[in-house]
Amino acid sequence: MSLLRVAFLFVFAATLGGCAEIGYYAQAVHGGMSVLSSARPIPEVLDDPQTDDKLRGRLQKVQRIRAFAVAELALPDNGSYKSYADLKRRYVLWNVVAAPEFSLKAKQWCFPVAGCVSYRGYYSETDADAF
């Protein structure tokens, strides 16, 4: 995705009302682009001699499961589960779920594209904890 397109998406998201502030959108766009830009096709990762055996086994399993899903379950043969991104961290993102004090009803946040949801996703554990 071009830098111009990313900038447009950021400005578009920031100008729509929603309940989230610009800083949240900025980390979401940056984090999402970071994941996408570090993704490599699974066959490329499997062919890489630096790939450790444990990861290689997991990715081969992903390929088998995906092939089964397409052939036997008639799921679409699209771009899903065809790439791998090594983010050098344990989780892709951290979700924050909250409720008002003494309540079991989850707080909702509204976003222009996703609509209203009961969580906020952060690509940084520090940002999630700070929120």
Domain layout of the chain by residue ranges: 3-130
**Whole-number Å distance between alpha carbons of 116 and 18:** 9
Instruction: Quickly state the pLDDT bin for 126 (edges 50, 70, 90).
Output: very high
Tokens (6 digits) for 116: 């209203």
3 state SS for the chain: CCHHHHHHHHHHHHHCCCCCCHHHHHHHHHHHHHHHHHEEEHHHHHHCCCCCHHHHHHHHHHHHHHHHHHHHCCCCCCCCCCEEECCCCCCCCEEECCCCCCCCCCCCEEECCCEEECCEEECCHHHHHHC
| pTM given for the model | 0.72
Q: What is the pLDDT of residues 68-120, one digit of tens each?
A: 999 999 999 999 999 999 999 999 999 999 999 999 999 999 887 788 999 99
Q: What is the pLDDT of residues 28-52, one digit of tens each?
A: 999 999 999 999 999 999 999 999 9
**Whole-number Å distance between alpha carbons of 85 and 7:** 23
